[in-house]
Amino acid sequence: MRGYLKWSAVFLAAALTLAACGGDDGGGPEQAEGGATLAFGTSADPVVLDGALVSDGESLRAIDQMFEGLVTLAPGGTEVVAGLASDWEISEDAMTYTFTLEEGVTFHDGEPFNAEAVCFNFDRWFNFPKPFQGADASYYYQTVFGGFAGSEDALYESCEATEEHTVTLNLTRPSASFLAALALTNFTFGSPAALEEFGADEGRINADSLFVPTGTYGTEHPTGTGPFMFSEWRRGDRLVMERNPDYWGEIPGNIQTLIFRPIAEGAARLQALQTGEIQGYDLVDPQDYQTIEGDENLQLLERPAFNVGYVGFNQAVEPLDDLAVRQAIAHAINRQEIVDAFYAGQGVVAKEFMPPELFGYADDVTEYEYDPEKAKQILEDAGYTLPVKIDFAFPTDVERPYMPDPQANGEAMVADLEDCCFDIEVRTDTWSPDYLAKADTGKYGIRLLGWTGDFGDPDNFIGTFFQTPQKAWGFENDEIFGCLNDAEVETDIEARTSMYEECNRLIMDFLPGLPYVHTKPALAFAANVTGYEPSPVSLEPFSLVTVDE
Amino acid sequence: MIGYVVRRLLLMVPILLGLSILVFLFVRALPGGPAIALLGERATEESVEQIEEQLGLDQPVHVQYGRYLGNLLSGDLGTSVSTRQPVTSELARRFPATFELTIAALIFAIGLGIPLGYIAAKRYQGVLDNVSLVMSLIGVSIPVFFLALLLKYIFGVQLGWLPTIGRLGITVSLEHPTNFYVLDSVLTANWEALTDSLKHLVLPAIALGTIPLAIVARITRAATLDVLSEDYVRTARAKGLDPLVVDRRHVLRNAMLPVVTVVGLQTGLLLTGAVLTETVFAWPGLGTLILNAIRFRDYAVLQGGVLVFAVIFVLVNLIVDISYAFLNPRIRYR
């Protein structure tokens, strides 16, 4: 036994010695040669590093650092600016786009970037094999381009490399949101040589008749033109990128080595930031805001709001088809109180279905102030006996960026409605699949839901909701449909802006739902990190970031 | 003995078959499917149908199972819906991480637990016995999640002695022939990586090993007390044998039987479900893989994972049973 004790003591001593020697992980980033190292805590691994085949935020974040497209967004906003295309011309009929490309640009493998490379990429997407056309993989391509080769709805017709650095895109019908959409990460370019060599489109059909990708392009050889180049990817551990020494543009920041570390728990991300194991992270839990703001070694950055939480009305369910009832509901709910109580200071009350940062936002829409007496009056004038019976649904077991606590929101709103003039039948379901499926197919009367924007175009918000008849909303309103249809194809940006403003006024008069909140997600960084520009669509290049010593 | 082992191994086949059917049906009974999990608010009836068709989920259940079984027998566990990688490579990649953590937790639990329990028994109702009783109670009562965060807060954030996430620091590079980081460091003579990977193991091992530690200590104590009161121990002492020899040859060896059983069960549990610990420490092991698979309704990963877990459990328990024969020569397997 003494022997045993002895070895236990040795073990303990060894463990403590290890712990005591070098506590370097609390120190901060080490300077690699020529620049700084920055480790960033993400919430999950990317799926694959091939822009055309992903729709999840973590894949897009990583791809944004290594790949570029024809146009991009000015940092921190949604304004479209030049990317790999220095200039462009749109034809009168908005069906032909001609781009002048930057010269002297090379991919990370040394291959030249030119018009041929652009067309190679566009054709690749258009001609994706069937298994790549799934909604999860190519959601954005389908949203923007409508379809693939052989589909009637396809927006893309062809690409011509008219000169070495001039490329023309031909569309099948006029589109105005096309240019903004080209700034999406999904339309960034890979080196044709690498795409072919590493089998980006290769796969085999397994015994299940399922397509299994077999190429290594998206997992080991992603090759773009961006300020960072792929170095190493160990899933669950880290994704390492290195500064591109031959980058064609400027890299204002001083990061030499950029590392993404997936850490699923928000609390674990915070602790890793506090110990210095990472120098920044995304998706800060609202309950941690105070801790970060109170720590002089840390800083909290807010993203401009780019989402909307709303109370949706299904007008196929009576009496929601009566405008008076919808207006009464709008006046009966105290939105400010709810936003103050359940959003940890990160929410603002919404008055229309898209965020203020987006062009087409109208300041002068009809507003519905909290006034339960007025609500009662409206109902009585319309001939209703109080209380009016309606069902109200909200999801359980989920957190959404626009709705961290659906249950709290739902219960508070139900209480407001019942205090006023309604008799509510509460319905709850788990988020996936029941709630989403039922909401989508119009099984609820009133429902709580929301939307996070994908790209900087009003079409992505109010177009998605109200441009066509949908079971979820249960109405047909030709005035609104017409307004949105016309605005979508208008190519003059000023005209388009006023058209969308008008549509927003129409929508808020018709009141198909009640928007109530926009939220501003937050990121946290060490105090010595500067230059990071939070973007409403999360397009945030680390090439701008400097780590001071 | 060999016959016994072979029979036990053959028994695995019907066990695994039955289990595969159960798991197959159960994961499909979970509400929701991968389509909604992947698409969220963007889901429309069409896109959900499209994904389900792509994944073959629109076929009747027995057809799906038949295909699954066919693939299984040729070694294909399917493809993960969320990472699009083959399930076998996902499992193979993450297993060493969990295995390494389990070994570390076991070393902690057994290395401290057996001596603590033994001494507590020898000094029955002494100070150490009572202290260890209280600490065991605390050990099994503290939620692992909370303990993990607490350890990280004290030793990571406040004292800065130990890292709080991952298996290796960002400034350390290491070749990975086996994906067992400690072993890799030794194999490649990378001493910086060795100390770094060991440092990363300390807190998770303590968090994960605390409950097994408490259990092992208590079982050791109880078993030792039992054995100490046996006649043959009294006889051995009466014979004049050195007390240390009595302890080692008679007391300890006989007390170990129940301890080995418990350790075997704990190992199985540790290997298969260190979900909370792995999540808090961002440890890229099987626990986080399964958690994600549940979240995304990743049927292939769930099925493959459960089968692998079952194999582990059966093998570990087989090893435990065999070890009885070595500990107690009266036990013979035919």
Q: Which two tokens stand for residue B132?
A: 């260890």
Question: Residue A452 and residue A435: Cα distance in Å, rounded?
Answer: 18
Output the pLDDT for position A259.
97
Question: Is the distance from CB of A224 to CB of A195 less than 8 angstroms?
Answer: no
- B-facing residues of A in 271-310 (CB < 8 A) are 271-272, 274-275, 277-278
Tell me the whole-structure pTM to 2 decimals. 0.83
Neighbours of B23 (CB within 10 A): 19
Q: Sign of torsion, CA B110 B116 B118 B121?
A: negative
A205 pLDDT exceeds 70?
no
A213 at the B interface (CB within 8 A)?
yes
Question: Residue A429 and residue A438: Cα distance in Å, rounded?
Answer: 9
Pairing of strands A203-205, A166-171: unpaired
Look at the domain B92-327 and name its fold: MetI-like fold (1.10.3720)
A386 at the B interface (CB within 8 A)?
no
**DSSP string over A50-87:** -GGG--SHHHHHHHHHH---SEEE-TTS--EEESSEEE
Residue of A nearest to B294 (CA): A432
- CATH 1.10.3720.10 in chain B is located at 92-327
Q: Which two tokens stand for residue A38?
A: 């920055």
A433 at the B interface (CB within 8 A)?
yes
Mean pLDDT of A340-365: 91
Q: Which two tokens stand for residue A23?
A: 């506590």
- A-facing residues of B in 147-176 (CB < 8 A) are 149, 152-153, 155-157, 159-171, 176
- Kindly give, in sequence order, each residue whose CB lies less than 8 Å from that of residue B103, ignoring residues fewer than 6 positions away: none
Contact B41 A436 (CB under 8 A): yes
Distance from CA of B84 to the nearest CA of A (A): 7
- Kindly give, in sequence order, each residue whose CB lies less than 8 Å from that of residue B231, ignoring residues fewer than 6 positions away: none
Distance of CA A486 to the CA centre of its chain: 26
Residue type, A303: R
pLDDT tens-place values along chain B, 334 residues long: 788 878 888 888 888 888 888 888 877 777 667 776 667 777 777 777 777 777 777 778 788 888 788 777 777 788 887 787 888 888 988 989 998 999 999 999 999 999 888 888 888 888 888 888 888 888 888 888 899 999 999 999 999 999 999 999 888 888 888 889 998 899 888 889 999 999 999 999 999 999 899 999 999 999 988 888 888 888 888 888 888 777 777 788 788 888 888 888 888 778 765 888 898 999 999 888 888 888 777 888 888 888 888 888 888 888 888 877 777 777 766 5
Output the pLDDT for position A32.
36
Which one-letter DSSP state was computed for residue A113?
Answer: P
Question: Is the distance from CB of A46 to CB of A287 less than 8 angstroms?
Answer: no
